Amino acid sequence: MPHPKGKRALIFFIIWQLIFLVGIAKGEEKFPEQRLSEQELATEKFLSNLEAKLAHKFFNYRQRPVVRVAVFDFNDGAGNVSKVGREIAEKISRRLWGQKQFSVLSREKVEQYLQWMGMTTLFKMNAPMLYRWQKRINTMDPGHGLHVLIGGEVQKGVGRSLRLSASLINFETKIGPRELENNILDLTNINGEIPLPTEQALKEALEIVTRGEIRPAAEGRLLILASNKGHNLMETDYVKGFTKERPFPWSEVPLLFIPSKEEGVMPENVKVGLDRISLSPLTWGKDPGKQLEYSFLHGKCSTNLVYFDEIMPAQSYRLVITITDPKSYETRSLMKQVTVYPGATTLVVLSFYIPSEKERMRSKQTAQINIFQLWGKGTEIFPEKR
């Protein structure tokens, strides 16, 4: 027969267990499990779908282990950016940012790209526009490593919902005559719908924060010529007649620059940098128009190399020249700001002078670098045929 004290201990144990279980039940009632709202679930579904398609199309463990993307604010179909359009872009960026297979451009970099293109966000992309984006970014920001542009639209859907459409645009798409003519792009679309709790929430989400604008970017032509024959170029008085307010007066000019009489030698390790762009002499290719134009300019400027020829945003650029004296092995550098004006051509002429041994003995001269710049109205340099 069990001892009375043992019975009491068993009863107290059972009572304690009941109190403990009741406490847990009350705690669960007090702190119910948090569930995502319909809006949060739909947003997560859209972002997850976008991430999956981005990885499936662009990620490659061997060839592309890191996918570099630029995320743009979503617009309303007319180029206007709404509050929710900006929030969606920020959520996409945050989601991709923390994953090692993705690299996301900073917002500052994206804004810089838009400024170069005269736009407020990515809007109505087509083959000609993508070609312009590629040319401008490849020129202005070499080494960008960009693979994908992510943009899209967000508009009012059925009832109190938002209709989303995102586009993954392959930035590395080869755009040739066929693609331009037929407007062929390599892009992937992702669609979704997000319900909102109230009409007020819908109204606030669609509030415009940035008005859409595709303005012609202020641009000019920058052309950099050089002479590497070792002679020091000297400008003539005709240079003073070249301004951005009038077209190039070629008919009035026999020569803009003439080589000095001092003997020179070829420089070594010539480095030309334009902001972050490292320049090398261009090849003329098979374009007869370019061949004729460059030959004409070389004749007027006593040059023999073309380092750069592009339509650029109108602003100032830092041009840095570095050469090595083959005799003394000393390095010489020169930095100068060159300015591109809207609707004008900036003609920059570089001169690298390396004195010969005879000149070093005779006049004690050393290596020199000169940077000349002059301007003409318009972006056409070759004189009109009359």
Distance CA 13, CA 269 (A): 90
CATH of 38-210 given 3.40.50.10610, 3.30.750.24, 3.40.50.970, 3.40.50.2000: 3.40.50.10610
pLDDT at 384: 57
pLDDT at 146: 98
pLDDT at 33: 56
pLDDT tens-digit map of 322-380: 988 887 788 889 999 999 999 999 999 999 888 877 777 777 777 889 999 999 999 98
Collect all residues with Cβ–Cβ distance below 8 Å to 158 and sequence separation of at least 6.
193
Widest CA span of the chain, in angstroms?
A: 130
Rounded to an integer, the average pLDDT of 80-105 is 96
Pick from 50-59, 218-227, 277-286, 370-379: least confident: 277-286
Residue written as token pair 């010539």: 270
Distance CA 92, CA 102 (A): 11
Q: Output the average pLDDT for the chain.
A: 88
Closest-CA residue to 149 (of 121, 174, 177, 128): 121
Closest-CA residue to 222 (of 295, 112, 140, 118): 140
Closest-CA residue to 265 (of 336, 335, 323, 307): 323
- Is pLDDT larger for residue 340 or for residue 262? 340
Q: Where are the domains of the chain?
A: 38-210, 219-377
Rounded to an integer, the average pLDDT of 282-306 is 87
Distance CA 142, CA 134 (A): 11
Q: Global pTM?
A: 0.78
Distance CA 4, CA 1 (A): 9
